Amino acid sequence: MVVLAINLVMFCVEFGGGLVAGSTALLADSLDMFGDSLVYGFSLFVLHRSLVWRARAALVKGGIMAAFGVGVLLEAAFSLRSDVPPVVPTMAAIALLALFANTLCFALLWRHRADDINLRSTWLCSRNDLIANGAVLVAAVLVALSGSFWPDVIVGAGIAWLFLRTAFSVIRESLSELARVRDHGPVSGVL
């Protein structure tokens, strides 16, 4: 519940900051926070349900991550039409706040990193958030040094690639779990 609340608050902060700063990378990261909020809520819903429920939940989460990845790629493409760099102080400050929030979430989820696909997928979301936050900070520094919008667009596209890579991994694992349950029939506690 704490991780869910942190992600919902940070979605609002990052989305607003991304709009104010004109940062594709911050907007991408904010969408990740929103997606994570959906993921965590869904994970809580299926936490004590059967393996089939948890695998289906992970499959849906993989689909959500993939959709956000495509959405961020589209945002990056639209950003290419503008040559205005983002506002660096706003971008950097919000990225630092997001890094702090995601470090806390990562620590809270650490013990679940090797659990079933449902809980493992929540930990993977948290890990991706740390990578994305670090990348947004690097983009802010590069925008400040170069005066170009390109580092922001490149990092936004990189975050999208990370979403897509993780999404396909989670989808593949979810489908394997569902196939394993289907092939071995109903097992006590599985359905």
Angle, CA 60 vertex, CA 55 and CA 66 arms, to 5°: 125
Q: What is the pLDDT, as a whole number, of residue 89?
A: 95
Q: What is the pLDDT, as a whole number, of residue 118?
A: 66
Check residues 75 and 66 and name the one with the higher pLDDT.
Answer: 66
- Please answer whether residues 35 and 11 qualify as being in contact, where contact means their C-beta atoms are separated by less than 8 angstroms: no
Span 13-68, pLDDT tens digits: 999 998 899 888 888 888 888 878 887 888 788 878 887 887 888 788 788 888 88
Residues whose CB is less than 8 angstroms from the CB of residue 102 and which lie 6 or more positions away in sequence, other chains included: 10, 126, 129, 130, 133
Average pLDDT, the chain: 85
pTM, two decimal places: 0.74
Span 143-154, pLDDT tens digits: 999 999 999 999
Residue 16 to residue 26: CA distance in whole angstroms: 9
Q: What is the pLDDT, as a whole number, of residue 190?
A: 46
**Both tokens of residue 134?**
């670090």
- Please answer whether residues 58 and 117 qualify as being in contact, where contact means their C-beta atoms are separated by less than 8 angstroms: yes
Model confidence at 186: pLDDT above 70: no
- Please answer whether residues 86 and 35 qualify as being in contact, where contact means their C-beta atoms are separated by less than 8 angstroms: no
- Percent of the chain at pLDDT exceeding 70: 95
Interval 74-85 mean pLDDT? 80
Span 99-120, pLDDT tens digits: 999 999 989 888 877 777 667 7
Model confidence at 189: pLDDT above 50: no
